[in-house]
């Protein structure tokens, strides 16, 4: 099944692509990470900065990645090394493609561990662990769960195994089919939980917390985190949208599907935030409790509900599915390189990369138990576990630097005429195109560079 001579795979159509891309975008970033970082950074002002980042940097970069993919019909290494003339860097841009692959491997290694936690909670729910008596000590229960190396290892193994299984199935047969089934169910369940949360007496406070900006709570660190998260949540800076765009047929509009992806991803993050904070406040808890938020506060709610175990099982099942549709997109980045550029069989490439990622993930598995006391002194952050170190460098640095690469490549290195050729029938029009190029050339790079300099304390 080498690349040579064989027709490259594609999505079945726009709808399949949108679902798969939304499946990639919507994941732990929306339901687990966004609420907890919003909680840590004090709510409204952070949310506002985040929305600005999505609109001015995230969305334009999303178009850029999709366009680079569809134009080149290649995975990130190929897309980055084939579109610029030699005078404008030529093949050297391939560096960013390689960076995407390395980042993908490292990101999935710890994403899978958290994906595993959701499966662990699913099993807990099915076995009836969420009883009214357990409501009060959901925090301890989470602590005990992640402190158990065997359970976390087992669920990391299952999660990576599932990603590998789907990616072996290929583009439309595996990835698209999984997303088509899983994403709609996820949406219905999330809305049901939102409906419930809005009836609790914490709803008003939650809306106020999320949408009333108090700028005194905004730090430079919070802004960096908002930019980083806008990349993370849209699956940017890692080549995913380049790869997914490369399987897109010419008839599908990048402009319309990109808008749809960003809108859905943002809506789901906001809904998850309101839902979770409504529950947090109605239980009189604090919003800034960190990564344990969904694994601690929601279980305490489920435990006190009629049929709580059923709710909990559904919620963690679907969170696990959302994580899975993101996990497969990350694995696909690495696999696509070997399938496309090296002509290696999809199955072999998937097993090889999946296995490597699984092995690296063991370090993150152990970060909450055996290696919990092993801390890396991270400049500006203090001592962090391996898991937290990876998360910090990838979310706040690697994705953002790679995004800078995408912006400069699309804005300056690739010929704008070529991009216009690819986008002219896409519905964004000449003005839209000019605005996009402007954002790519100036706004995105300047924003990213300022933020990086600030983090380095150079300005
Ligand atoms: N967008 C995913 C989420 O919000 O959970 C995470 C992710 C997937 C990040 C794919 C990056 C990526 F390339
Ligand atoms: Na997301």
So what's the pLDDT on residue 453?
82
Å from CA of 238 to ligand 1 middle: 9
Å from CA of 307 to ligand 1 middle: 32
Number of the ligand 1 atom closest to the C-alpha atom of 241? 13
Looking at per-residue pLDDT, the higher value among 1 and 420 belongs to 420
Looking at per-residue pLDDT, the higher value among 139 and 212 belongs to 212
% of the chain exceeding 90 in pLDDT = 64
With H, G, I as helix, E, B as strand and everything else as coil, classify residue 377. strand
Res 232 pLDDT > 80 = yes
Q: How confident is the model at residue 18 (pLDDT cuts 50, 70, 90)?
A: confident
Å from CA of 91 to ligand 1 middle: 27
pLDDT tens figures, 23-48: 999 999 999 999 999 999 999 999 99
User: Closest Cα to residue 312, out of 43, 82, 125, 161?
Assistant: 125
Take residue 438 and report the two structure tokens written for it.
């402007």
Res 356 pLDDT > 50 = yes
Q: Quick one: which ligand is closest to 269's CA?
A: 2
Q: How confident is the model at residue 323 (pLDDT cuts 50, 70, 90)?
A: very high
So what's the pLDDT on residue 383?
95
Looking at per-residue pLDDT, the higher value among 189 and 52 belongs to 52
So what's the pLDDT on residue 452?
81
User: How far apart are alpha carbons 330 and 230 in whole angstroms?
Assistant: 17
Q: How confident is the model at residue 368 (pLDDT cuts 50, 70, 90)?
A: very high
Task: Spell 41-56 as b/e; 16+ CB within 10 A means b.
Answer: bbbbbbbbbbbbbbee
Mutate to test the pocket of ligand 1, among 235, 241, 333, 336 (most ligand atoms within 8 A of CB): 235
| Range name among 139-143, 407-411, 430-434, 453-457 with the lowest pLDDT average | 453-457
Q: Is the CB of 241 under 6 A from ligand 1?
A: no
Centroid of chain to Cα 281:
26
User: How far apart are alpha carbons 179 and 322 in whole angstroms?
Assistant: 9
Mutate to test the pocket of ligand 1, among 326, 328, 330 (most ligand atoms within 8 A of CB): 326
Q: How confident is the model at residue 3 (pLDDT cuts 50, 70, 90)?
A: very low
Q: Does ipTM come in above 0.95? A: yes
Q: Is the CB of 30 under 6 A from ligand 1?
A: yes
Q: How confident is the model at residue 459 (pLDDT cuts 50, 70, 90)?
A: low
Res 316 pLDDT > 70 = yes
Q: Looking at residues 242-262, what average pLDDT do you find?
A: 92
So what's the pLDDT on residue 6?
65
Handedness of CA 234, 235, 239, 240 (dihedral sign): negative
Take residue 110 and report the two structure tokens written for it.
């710890």
Q: Looking at residues 431-454, what average pLDDT do you find?
A: 91
Take residue 453 and report the two structure tokens written for it.
């300099």
pLDDT tens figures, 266-280: 999 999 999 999 988
User: How far apart are alpha carbons 451 and 38 in whole angstroms?
Assistant: 19
| Range name among 54-63, 125-134, 339-348 with the lowest pLDDT average | 125-134
User: Domains (ranges, CATH) in the chain?
Assistant: 14-455 (1.10.4160)
Q: Looking at residues 261-269, what average pLDDT do you find?
A: 97
Task: Spell 369-380 as b/e; 16+ CB within 10 A means b.
Answer: eebeeeeeeeee
Q: How confident is the model at residue 372 (pLDDT cuts 50, 70, 90)?
A: very high
Q: Is the CB of 38 under 6 A from ligand 1?
A: no
Centroid of chain to Cα 244:
14
Q: Quick one: which ligand is closest to 402's CA?
A: 1
| Range name among 311-320, 342-351, 363-372 with the lowest pLDDT average | 311-320
Å from CA of 232 to ligand 2 middle: 7
Estimate the crossing angle of helix 94-126 against helix 399-408, to 10 degrees: 140
Mutate to test the pocket of ligand 1, among 107, 261, 272, 394 (most ligand atoms within 8 A of CB): 107
Q: How confident is the model at residue 135 (pLDDT cuts 50, 70, 90)?
A: low
User: How far apart are alpha carbons 368 and 375 in whole angstroms?
Assistant: 11
Task: Mention every residue, 6+ apart, whose C-beta is less than 8 A from residue 182.
Answer: 23, 318, 321, 322, 324, 325
Res 389 pLDDT > 50 = yes
Å from CA of 3 to ligand 2 middle: 31
Å from CA of 413 to ligand 1 middle: 26
So what's the pLDDT on residue 156?
98
Name the residue at shortest CA distance from atom 12 of ligand 1: 235
pLDDT tens figures, 88-110: 989 999 999 999 999 999 999 99
Q: Is the CB of 62 under 6 A from ligand 1?
A: no
Mean of the per-residue pLDDT values of the chain: 90
**Contact present, 448 and 403 (Cβ < 8 Å):** yes
Looking at per-residue pLDDT, the higher value among 89 and 174 belongs to 89
% of the chain exceeding 70 in pLDDT = 98
Category of 376 on φ-ψ map: left (φ > 0), alpha (ψ -120 to 50) or beta: beta
Å from CA of 120 to ligand 2 middle: 21
Mutate to test the pocket of ligand 1, among 20, 29, 113 (most ligand atoms within 8 A of CB): 29
Å from CA of 201 to ligand 1 middle: 33
Q: How confident is the model at residue 349 (pLDDT cuts 50, 70, 90)?
A: very high
Category of 344 on φ-ψ map: left (φ > 0), alpha (ψ -120 to 50) or beta: beta
Å from CA of 443 to ligand 1 middle: 23
């Amino acid at each position: 099944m080498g690349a040579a001579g064989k027709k490259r795979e594609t999505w079945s159509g726009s709808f399949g692509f949108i679902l798969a891309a939304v499946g990639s975008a919507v994941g732990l970033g929306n339901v687990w990470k966004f609420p907890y970082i919003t909680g840590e950074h004090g709510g409204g002002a952070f949310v506002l900065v985040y929305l600005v980042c999505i609109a001015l940097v995230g969305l334009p970069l999303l178009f850029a990645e999709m366009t680079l993919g569809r134009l080149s019909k290649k995975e990130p290494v190929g897309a980055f090394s084939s579109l610029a003339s030699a005078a404008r860097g030529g093949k050297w841009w391939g560096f960013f493609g390689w960076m995407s692959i390395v980042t993908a491997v490292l990101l999935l290694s710890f994403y899978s561990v958290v994906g595993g936690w959701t499966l662990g909670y699913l099993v807990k729910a099915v076995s009836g662990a969420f009883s009214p008596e357990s409501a009060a000590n959901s925090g301890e229960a989470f602590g005990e769960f992640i402190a158990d190396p065997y359970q976390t290892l087992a669920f990391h193994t299952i999660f990576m195994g599932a990603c590998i299984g789907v990616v072996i199935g290929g583009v439309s047969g595996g990835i698209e089919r999984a997303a088509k089934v899983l994403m709609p169910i996820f949406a219905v369940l999330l809305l049901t939980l939102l409906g419930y949360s809005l009836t609790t007496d914490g709803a008003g406070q939650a809306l106020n917390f999320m949408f009333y900006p108090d700028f005194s709570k905004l730090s430079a660190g919070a802004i960096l985190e908002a930019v980083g998260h806008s990349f993370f949540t849209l699956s940017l800076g890692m080549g995913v949208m380049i790869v997914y765009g490369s399987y897109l047929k010419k008839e599908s509009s990048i402009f319309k599907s990109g808008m749809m992806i960003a809108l859905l991803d943002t809506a789901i993050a906001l809904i998850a935030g309101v839902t979770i904070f409504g529950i947090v406040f109605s239980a009189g808890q604090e919003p800034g409790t960190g990564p344990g938020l969904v694994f601690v506060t929601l279980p305490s709610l489920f435990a006190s509900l009629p049929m709580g175990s059923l709710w909990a099982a559904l919620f963690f099942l679907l969170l696990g599915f959302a994580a899975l549709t993101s996990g497969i997109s990350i694995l696909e980045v690495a696999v696509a390189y070997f399938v496309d550029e090296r002509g290696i069989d999809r199955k072999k490439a998937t097993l090889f990369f999946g296995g490597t990622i699984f092995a690296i993930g063991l370090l993150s598995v152990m970060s909450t138990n055996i290696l919990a006391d092993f801390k890396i002194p991270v400049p500006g952050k203090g001592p962090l576990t391996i898991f937290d170190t990876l998360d910090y460098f990838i979310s706040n640095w690697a994705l953002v630097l790679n995004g800078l690469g995408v912006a400069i490549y699309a804005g300056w290195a690739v010929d704008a005429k070529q991009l216009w050729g690819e986008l002219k029938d896409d519905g964004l029009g000449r003005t839209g195109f000019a605005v996009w190029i402007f954002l790519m050339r100036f706004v995105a790079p300047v924003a990213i560079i300022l933020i990086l300099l600030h983090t380095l304390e150079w300005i």
